[in-house]
Amino acid sequence: MNPNAPAVALNDLQKIYTSRKSKERKEALKGVTFDIPRGAFFGLLGPNGAGKSTLINILAGTVNKSSGDAAICGYDITRETRRAKMSLGVVPQELIVDTFFTVREALDIHAGYYGVPKEKRRTNTIIEALGLTQQADMNSRRLSGGMRRRLLVAKALVHNPPVLILDEPTAGVDVELRRQLWDYVVELNKQGTTVLLTTHYLEEAQELCDTIGIINNGQVIALDRKDALMRRMDRKQLVITPTDTLGALPPGLPGEITLTPEGQLVIAYAPSKLSVEEILSRVRESGVSIRDLATVEPKLEDVFRKMMKEDGNKKAA
């Protein structure tokens, strides 16, 4: 393993599907290029059909790329396939389990696939960490959807991979199981495991990821640290609760102003053009006495919608 290589490196990665009947060509990935640093918690976001699953399947070795290069921890997925696969654990969207085996047996068998010696297997440790102790000797077909999802995560970790891909891991998982799963994955990330997450739950990506990539129509349209990406919105809200009830909007206030039914002043503003102190000064000058205030930051969903809209406008131009 090359310790200086990125966890994942993609260079001009392209995938073209050709229909057998019509011979129509569909370009699922259009020259995707980016790196994921070691130890990152990377969120890959995009609408259905954007190319996320194709990219993941190429890394996992279940789909062949048309051109370009891809490497995991410095191992080229084509020339060093075995080492690349040993460096990667994948949790797929589909709830596919070995229905003829218990949880413990399934993990032991999966570890055997990767050539992990019996004395080095971490089966019991992983079972305990993922809350599968009570289900350890239960046949996999009897597991609930949430427990099957945990088993898939467990199977992806049997060979202790430095890179973990989670493809929509919490789809159909209840709140408690979701939180327990994320607690464990966050701990893995703190210990050095690089995590690549795809999810339609953007609040999860906002809470967990430190770096975000947005893909649309097979192309990366945004890639940055989460905090830098959030600053692109250049929009916040200041929510002011007046001491006295307001009957109408005070004159002379900056920004986009709304008076809520509860009597709060909501002022939307661009931080690059207007400071909170300027707004508060103008509010006081208007004769409004402030009892309480709060700042509302933009959400990742707002950024995502903005990027998608801008990309659509570019393609329409």
Taking the chain (317 residues) in consecutive chunks of 10 residues, what is each chunk's mean pLDDT? 85 92 88 96 94 94 95 96 94 83 92 91 90 90 86 92 92 79 92 94 93 95 92 88 85 86 89 90 88 90 90 76
The hierarchical CATH code for the domain 8-225 is: 3.40.50.300
Find the angle CA(119)-CA(87)-CA(133) to the nearest 5 degrees: 50
pLDDT value, residue 220? 95
**Sequence spans of domains, the chain:** 8-225, 234-297
pLDDT value, residue 1? 59
| Range 199-234 burial, b when 16+ CB lie within 10 A, else e | bebbebbbebbebbbbbbbbbbbbbeebeebbeebe
pLDDT value, residue 261? 87
Strands (E) located in 159-208 = 163-167, 194-198
Query: What counts of helices (H) and strands (E) characterise the chain?
Result: 10, 14
CB 223 within 8 A of CB 265: no
From edge to edge, which strands make up the β-sheet containing 256-259? 256-259, 265-269, 236-242, 290-296
